[in-house]
Structure 1
Amino acid sequence: MAESDFDILDDRFRTLVKTAANVERIWTGGRWTEGAVYFPAMRSLLWSDIPNDRIMRWDECTGETGVFRGNHGHYTNGHTVDRQGRLVSCEHGTRRVTRTEHDGSITVLADSYDGRKLNSPNDVVVRSDGSIWFTDPAYGIDSDYEGFAAPQEQDGDFVFRLDPDSGRLTVVADDFQRPNGLAFSVDEQTLYIVDSGFSRYKDGNRHIRKFSVNADGSLSGGEVLMTCQTGIYDGFRLDTEGRIWTSAGTGVECYAPDGTLLGRIKLTERVANLVFGGPKRNRMFIAGTTSIYSVMLPVTGARTF
């Protein structure tokens, strides 16, 4: 029964899912899938298979999957699409944020701060003003599994903003144990950021914080909006009504804008990230540990490009 794919914890969730719609596995064979990103013009989904050092591509029209790029020592993690339709990627292996141009060439956007190498950029979003925001925990240098083991050169695990005009990199948050997924509200006045410190520290953080975005690009506030009870949050997205759909243990949890848990999409393996795609942005693609899943929903994902 498809209904078994969902936990309805609040009556409002009944209108956000179709219990007749199954969660489908559209690909398997990864070691740790992450960073799902959808390209409307190509009707294609890209994602990272980090330990295998490759980016995969799935064609929505044919259902075929192949390697988009791999075996270059990049160990990419999170991706997004910028306003010009270019792929922006976080790379653990090279410890940098890059942009793939329309001709296929790669531009390095950031690889150091204050004269020292970044840790291992993890997740990234682009605001409508062209600024690029990314998290920089040390997962990719902790071991050789998702990158290359190396000493940490930064003084912490920071959240950065890259100015689109000057190219200047600034720290916008420095009090995270392990900053991870991030996303803007629909009006871009709020930035939500995951702290997945629990993955590293016994009593570490496992919550999403909420910041106000100031006119000068700085952040203020930072209160905890919700705390994960089923593992840790990782990557997440918002729908057009401001609800947060986030990875949480072996599922995707949906929260009202005030942080109330409404319901859960259940899977059988740990979820890393998700993205809305399809022609109507109402098909959710979910990156699990070894596989990519999808489910059709009666909601529309917020535009991120």
Structure 2
Amino acid sequence: MDGFDIRDPRFAGFILGNAPLEEIASGFRWIEGPVWMGDWNCLLFQDLPRNRTMRWSESEGLSVWRSPSNYANGQARDRQGRLVACSHRGRCVTRTEHAGSVTILADRHAGRRLNAPNDIVVKSDGSIWFTDPLYGILTDYEGGRQVSEQRPAVYRLDPDRRELSVVADDFDGPNGLAFSPDERLLYIAETGDQTKPNPKQYLRVFEVAADGRSLTGGEIFHKVEPGYSDGFRVDEDGNLWSSAGDGVHCISPEGELLGKILVPHTVSNLAFGDHDTCRLFIGGSHTLYAIFLNRRAAGSPAAG
């Protein structure tokens, strides 16, 4: 089938023969942080180097939603439907309230500034989990060159108590993250120290403690090739849909490559959305793509 690389018969069942990959918007510098706003019926995503958040909908097309965005990157919805986001320039995690004001939820740990929060996910208990690599403060292109005050890490934030704790710090460059449908596992992308010639680049899997506050394990789950896993999402059956150098790779819960959606440009991030969350929106470098699948996203807040 044109446009796909089928490695396992299961993947053929995920594809709709009359639903090809569509190019829906272009002209960006580097797309990041897509999130579906179910109650608004639109997608928000970052044109990161241009320091702006974009809005796309089927009925209204493309517009600028927020500019400047403070070099925002990863975004998610909380249990009340509010937008929580990572800011490179601000070195913080923010929440956009229903009335439109922006609240800083976290910008320091142990008295030192965060680096450049990158990707974010909200658990069903309302806790916010995010990665904090150095990428956004290494150059001026995606945030602004600044001095790091602590090592890269993955954090858990209790937004009500404003309690921030480290759940993993054995990463060179923690990036995308997502929970399994039952939230017993947390997958985290290691994209490494990209200033080095051969950075560590693979997906890791952690077990979430029964109290939902800590992690164990961290084994290598899968290595994406070509390219690496930057952002990814999990579907209703626990399959991972990951960015890659040649498109989107679908990975089983056992870590097996099931197949690929071939995309003309390197994919940075992606998100399920549209009706019944069966449409996959794909950030392909400077172009936004979308494809309908015979898959739905794993459980998410009702407002999302």
Shorter-chain TM-score bucket reads: over 0.9
Q: Distance in 2 between matches of 1:198 and 1:225?
A: 19
Q: 1:246, 1:254 within 8 Å by CA — same for their partners in 2?
A: yes
Query: Which of 51, 61, 65 in structure 1 is aligned with 2:62?
Result: 65
3-state SS of the aligned residue for 1:4?
A: coil
How much has 1:59 moved relative to structure 2? 1.5
3-state SS of the aligned residue for 1:13?
A: helix
How much has 1:198 moved relative to structure 2? 6.1
User: What are the residue-to-residue correspondences of 1:101-116 with 2, within 5 Å?
Assistant: 101-116=97-112
Detail structure 1 runs of 4+ shifted over 3 Å in the superposition: none
Q: Distance in 2 between matches of 1:46 and 1:5?
A: 26
1:236-295 Cα shifts (integer Å, max 9, x gaps): 001100101000113000011000000000111110111110111100001111011000
Q: 1:25, 1:293 within 8 Å by CA — same for their partners in 2?
A: yes
How much has 1:19 moved relative to structure 2? 3.5
Give yes or no for the alignment of 1:287 onto 2:286: no
How much has 1:163 moved relative to structure 2? 1.7
Which residue number corresponds to residue 253 of structure 1? 249
Q: Distance in 1 between matches of 2:102 and 2:159?
A: 17
Q: Distance in 2 between matches of 1:21 and 1:200?
A: 40
How much has 1:215 moved relative to structure 2? 2.8
Give yes or no for the alignment of 1:85 onto 2:81: yes
Q: Distance in 2 between matches of 1:141 and 1:179?
A: 14
Gaps spanning 5+ residues in structure 1: where? none
Q: Distance in 1 between matches of 2:297 and 2:59?
A: 20
Which residue number corresponds to residue 242 of structure 1? 238
Which residue number corresponds to residue 161 of structure 1? 156
Query: Which of 15, 18, 42 in structure 2 is aligned with 1:20?
Result: 18
How much has 1:303 moved relative to structure 2? 2.2
Q: Percent identity?
A: 49
1:38-70 Cα shifts (integer Å, max 9, x gaps): 0111110000111000000001233x1100001
Which residue number corresponds to residue 264 of structure 1? 260
2:196 maps to amino acid: Y
Q: Distance in 1 between matches of 2:119 and 2:195?
A: 17
Which residue number corresponds to residue 133 of structure 2? 137
Q: How many residues align?
A: 300
Which residue number corresponds to residue 43 of structure 1? 41
How much has 1:5 moved relative to structure 2? 1.3
Q: Distance in 1 between matches of 2:196 and 2:300?
A: 32
Which residue number corresponds to residue 71 of structure 2? 75
Larger mean Cα displacement after TM superposition, 27-36 or 192-201: 192-201
3-state SS of the aligned residue for 2:221?
A: strand
Query: Which of 43, 49, 54 in structure 2 is aligned with 1:56?
Result: 54
Q: 1:181, 1:234 within 8 Å by CA — same for their partners in 2?
A: yes
How much has 1:299 moved relative to structure 2? 0.9
Query: Which of 210, 215, 219 in structure 1 is aligned with 2:205?
Result: 210
1:161 maps to amino acid: R
Q: 2:156, 2:164 within 8 Å by CA — same for their partners in 1?
A: yes
Q: 1:198, 1:206 within 8 Å by CA — same for their partners in 2?
A: no
Larger mean Cα displacement after TM superposition, 184-193 or 213-222: 213-222
Q: 2:35, 2:45 within 8 Å by CA — same for their partners in 1?
A: yes
Q: Distance in 1 between matches of 2:25 and 2:51?
A: 17
Name the CA shift for 1:199/1:60 in 2 (closer, same or farther; >3 Å).
farther
Larger mean Cα displacement after TM superposition, 102-111 or 158-167: 158-167
Give yes or no for the alignment of 1:171 onto 2:169: no
1:132-191 Cα shifts (integer Å, max 9, x gaps): 00000011100100011011111x110000024421111100001100000001011110
Query: Which of 90, 98, 107 in structure 2 is aligned with 1:94?
Result: 90
Q: 1:34, 1:273 within 8 Å by CA — same for their partners in 2?
A: yes
Q: 2:105, 2:159 within 8 Å by CA — same for their partners in 1?
A: no
Gaps spanning 5+ residues in structure 2: where? none
Which residue number corresponds to residue 32 of structure 1? 30
User: What are the residue-to-residue correspondences of 1:177-196 with 2, within 5 Å?
Assistant: 177-196=172-191
1:194-226 Cα shifts (integer Å, max 9, x gaps): 001164432221111110111340100111110
